[in-house]
Amino acid sequence: MKIICEKEKLLKGINSVINGVASKTTMPVLEGILIQTNDKEVKLTTYDLEIGIEYIIECNVQEQGNTVVNAIMFSEIIRKLPDTEITITINDNKLLVIECEGSLYKLATMNPDEFPELPKINIDNSIEIEQNLLKNMVRKTIFAVSNEENRPIFTGCLFEVKNNKLNVVAVDGYRLAIKSNILNSVSNDFSVVIPGKTLNEINKIIMDSFETIKIGVSKNQALFEMENCKIVTRLLDGEFLNYSNAIPPNWETRIRVNKNNIQNCFERIILISASSIEKEKKYPVKISTEIGKVTISCTNQTGDAKEEIYVTTEGKNLDAGFNPRYFLDALKVIDDEEIYIDFGTNISPCIIRPIESDEYTYMILPIRMKE
């Protein structure tokens, strides 16, 4: 094997596949990158038995071949080489030889025949969506995915296609995030739960562009395909939350508020409420509504804080406690200038929603305040 490739192209490919490398495995070959040539292309592949990533690079292939090399070592060497052409060959001792200007490195390789094939997926349903739309949908929901492995179904996002609309839903037991988008092409209804780890990796790879990405699903696998990249992932098993029934249909108190103003209030007050991890849970912030005004306050062993903001209010006055971090996570991904925040009772969830559409919904459960 002999290839000559621009560092920028090679590094982009490596960065796209590197997080598919297995970190804890009894199969050393899964700690590597599979390098395969095909005519004028080089394909890089990583696979940790849950997520597999392939990335194709156009370059000067002078001799065909394939090999597996330790991913971390290979990526760090390429990253630190000069920004010019890099020559990669396999010598007679089966060492991977990397040459660039005055630099020369030789790395041990592994048998490419031992690298497992990525799953072949018989696609049952598929959609196509612009990459920038998918990137935006994942960004606006992924923060609400659970990190608790005892409920694995909530460590992923629900991808639900219904009436030609894609809904991406995340929930962790304390909050819920929904982002919706109308699809441009007709699709069958289906729903699957995709691991949050996979979605994080996809969002690093896809571009903020109008180019499309195809998402195909089978019973237990999903395939994401772009022009030069393919990602295969297992799906999560289990019954996802019936989110439609979880969202209160009515509100008793509604405020209309400038998003940046209330976000700034939470960013300041969290300095007091979250001065330590246990205090964030022990001392929630108190949200009080009255005619034309919302007060956000917190009192704990660190000190006192109070923020007042003028808003448009409807309905009853209310006092309720919430984790301010959950508010901030939602507010940071909202682009609208103004939003509605709807409340029920002091033990009911609050809902953050847009003024003029239904393209997103954020639900946050309250915390009981100490008397």
Q: What are phi and psi of 285, to 5 degrees?
A: -85, 150
**Mean model confidence pLDDT for the chain:** 93
| pLDDT for 2 beyond 80 | yes
Domain-embedded: residue 134? yes
Residue 120 domain flag: no
Q: Which of 114, 141, 172 is the last residue of a domain?
A: 114
How many domains does one find in the chain? 3
Q: How confident is the model at residue 280 (pLDDT cuts 50, 70, 90)?
A: very low
pLDDT band at 287 (very low <50, low <70, confident <90, very high): very high
Is residue 363 within 8 Å of 323, Cβ to Cβ? Answer: no
Pairing relationship of beta strands 125-130 and 109-110 according to DSSP bridges: unpaired
Token pair of 277 as six digits: 């991890």
pLDDT for 276 beyond 70 = no
Residues 89 and 149 in one domain: no
Of 202-216, 240-254, 271-285, give the lowest mean pLDDT range. 271-285
Q: To the nearest whole percent, how much of the chain has pLDDT over 70? A: 97
Looking at the chain, the whole-number percentage of residues with pLDDT higher than 90 is 88
CA distance 199 to 177: 15
Torsion of CA 98, 112, 197, 233, to 10 degrees: 140
Task: Tell me the one-letter amino acid at 59.
Answer: C
State the distance between the two ends of the chain, measured CA to CA, in whole angstroms.
73
Given 243, 267, 294, the domain boundary residue is: 243
Q: Residue range 310-335: average pLDDT?
A: 95
Helix or strand (DSSP H, E) at 125:
strand 125-130
CA dist., res. 45 & res. 272, Å (int): 47
Q: What count of other Cβ atoms lies within 10 Å of the Cβ of residue 113?
A: 8
Mark whether 273 and 226 lie in a shared domain.
no
Q: Judge whether 327 lies within some domain.
A: yes
300 pLDDT band (50/70/90 cuts)?
confident
On whether both 353 and 252 belong to a single domain, the answer is yes
The answer to whether residues 130 and 35 belong to one domain is no
DSSP 279-330: HHHHSPEEEEEETTEEEEEEESSS-EEEEEEE-EEEE--EEEEE-HHHHHHH
What angle do the packed helices 7-17 and 71-80 form, to 10 degrees? 150
Do 233 and 263 belong to one domain?
no
Give the per-residue pLDDT at 150.
Answer: 87
Q: Does 119 map to a domain?
A: no
Residues 165 and 185 in one domain: yes
Give the strands of the sheet with 103-107, arranged side by side.
60-63, 2-6, 85-90, 96-100, 103-107
Least confident of 62-66, 112-116, 176-180, 365-369: 365-369
Nearest Cα residue to 214 out of 145, 166, 143, 154: 166
Asked whether residue 283 falls in the same domain as residue 349, the answer is yes
Rounded to an integer, what is the distance from CA 357 to the centroid of its chain? 24
Report the pLDDT value the prediction gives residue 275, as an integer from 0 to 100.
61
- Residue 268 domain-assigned? yes
Is residue 94 a part of any domain in this protein? Answer: yes
In a domain, 102, yes or no: yes
**Same domain, yes or no: 216 and 162:** yes
Domain of 321?
Answer: 247-364
* Together in a domain, 237 and 259: no
CATH number at residue 64: 3.10.150.10
Q: Is residue 189 over pLDDT 90?
A: yes
Per-residue pLDDT reduced to its tens digit, 119-146? 999 999 999 999 999 999 999 999 999 9
Whole-Å CA distances, 13 to 140, 207, 253, 301, 358: 26, 14, 51, 50, 37
Same domain, 300 and 215: no
Residue that has been written with the tokens 């219904």 in this structure: 162
pLDDT value at position 371? 59
| CA quadruple 327, 332, 335, 341: dihedral, nearest 10 | 10
Is 371 within a domain?
A: no
pLDDT value for 279: 42
- pLDDT digits over 3-28, tens only? 999 999 999 999 999 989 998 888 99
Question: Encoding tokens for residue 332?
Answer: 């940071």
Residue 99 has pLDDT above 60, yes or no: yes
Whether 152 and 86 map to the same domain: the answer is: no
243, 258, 275 - which closes a domain: 243
Domain co-membership, 236 together with 252: no
